[in-house]
Amino acid sequence: MCNKKSNKKKAENWLAIIAILLIIVAWFVGGQLENADILSSIQTKMPEIAKLKEVEESTYQIYNSNEEQLGYLTVEAAMGYGGPLKMAVAVDQNGKIFDLAVINSKETPSYLKKVLDAKFLDRLIGKSSQDEYSLGNGVDGISSATYSSRAIVQATIKGNRFIAAKMLGLDVPKEASPSLKFGTPEIILLLLFAVGYFAHKSTFKYTKIARWGTMLVGLFVLGFFYNKPFTLSMINQLFLGYFPPLYSQLYWYLLLGGIFLVLTVENKNPYCSWFCPFGAAQECMALVGGAKPRSTGKFKDVLKWTLRTITFLAIIAALLLRNPGVTSYEVFGTLFKLTGSGLQFAILGIVLVASLFIKRPWCTYLCPLGPVADYFTYLRKLIFNKWKKQKVNE
Amino acid sequence: MEKTKSKRIGEIVVIAVVIICLGLISIQLVGSIQHSIDLNF
């Protein structure tokens, strides 16, 4: 019995190491794949352009099929929700944008599709390098895809002004320095962490009330109002090193920083049971249907390892594609912003109905963040034990 | 005996729901990956 347990532990240790090695390999391979042919992508997405002549890195003189020069094109990037979003910006001889295309993006496909289907790029066509505009100021964003809309506008402005200044010799307005965005979601997030911290103390009497309070705030404010839950996409961003700008996405740093800090120091998950909006939605359904934790008998381990495998493959695919949002299969946005594919709506429907009878079915059997937290806790324990052993030997 | 039977049925229902969802999630993942490849390469 003891031998069996020790063998299982050994196998888990090896799996943990192999997982890290595979993540590193996928990271390198993804880097090589990313440098795919950008030129053919431009010509496919901008059929008016027949010929490109490189004048400097990522900047081209562009011609139509009659060999007439149309102007210049440059590829510029800005940070979107999932990572850098690359735009091809075509500018005429007067400094006006006449064509645009998203060449490469790390956004969640359904969100980017929403932006492109709404003909958002057309709102920027005809803008001049002299025009002063930003998202919400001269250009309306696409609701629930604000990060993608902002990245498109920022990359477009950068590209347009670069061509105007460097290629056409025109004067361009100076870029205003961005200011730190510290608003309601950030304040609420800090308050939720603070309430969770005090409610965890053994002297605190109203733990149940505090937990329901944080869950409902999480559900309505972080979920339905802001749609800012913790997702696999954020973990993929960490692995890929796509850190969003601090000034515009302070929330990202507070959420991830807070969760991992508490996991490291206290070995407790401050998010899932306390203010995860989707967890709260399931618990509300459970109140209606009287759901209970349900056993899966001898299949418990099989289901646990299936979810771990799917999560691991999702992370590897995100690293290979250099796209953190692509494998973020959660149905959070489907519930809170009604954005998602037909399949996601089907999954959401099944999960919500199941929540009436099974306690937190998504969190228990389907959420990719469970295996991520398990893995982190496992590594933490491994490192902590080694460090403790070393200290004893000293 | 009755209790064991209903518990067993409960287990089977949970497993069936989870397997259906995992299947749909896998199809969703493959679709997203394919879409991303089509969009970027």
Average pLDDT, chain A: 90
Segment A215-249, tens digit of pLDDT: 999 999 999 999 999 999 999 999 998 888 888 88
Spell out which chain B residues touch chain A, with contact meaning CB-CB distance below 8 angstroms. Answer: 7-8, 10-11, 14-15, 17-18, 20-22, 24-29, 31-33, 35-37, 39-41
Residue B17, domain extent: 1-34
pLDDT level of residue B32 (50, 70, 90 thresholds) = confident
How large is the ipTM?
0.91
Contact A268, A262 (CB under 8 A): yes
Tell whether A351 is within 8 A of chain B (Cβ).
yes
The per-residue pLDDT for A1 is 54
The per-residue pLDDT for A173 is 85
Tell whether A299 is within 8 A of chain B (Cβ).
yes
Residues 6+ apart with CB under 8 A from B32: A109, A326, A327, A329
User: Cα A7 to chain center, whole Å?
Assistant: 37
Same domain, A111 and A222: no
A276 to each of A54, A190, A281, A324, A368, how far by Cα in Å? 49, 14, 9, 20, 13
Whether residues B36 and A326 touch (CB distance < 8 A) is answered with yes
The DSSP element (H or E) to which A88 belongs, if any, is: strand A84-91
Same domain, A54 and A136: yes
Segment A253-270, tens digit of pLDDT: 999 999 999 999 988 899
The per-residue pLDDT for A238 is 92
Tell whether A296 is within 8 A of chain B (Cβ).
yes
Q: Looking at residues A8-37, what average pLDDT do you find?
A: 83
- Measured between beta carbons, the chain A residues lying within 8 angstroms of B37 are 321
The per-residue pLDDT for A37 is 63
Segment A320-347, tens digit of pLDDT: 988 888 888 999 999 998 888 899 999 9
In a domain, B28, yes or no: yes
Same domain, A156 and A199: no
Q: Looking at residues A174-203, what average pLDDT do you find?
A: 89
The per-residue pLDDT for B1 is 62
Same domain, A201 and A159: no
The per-residue pLDDT for A334 is 93
Angstroms from B1 CA to nearest CA on chain A: 17
Residue A334, domain extent: 181-393
Percent of chain A with pLDDT over 90: 58
In a domain, B39, yes or no: no
The DSSP 8-state label assigned to residue A272 in this structure reads T
Contact A327, A239 (CB under 8 A): no
d(CA A86, CA A103): 5
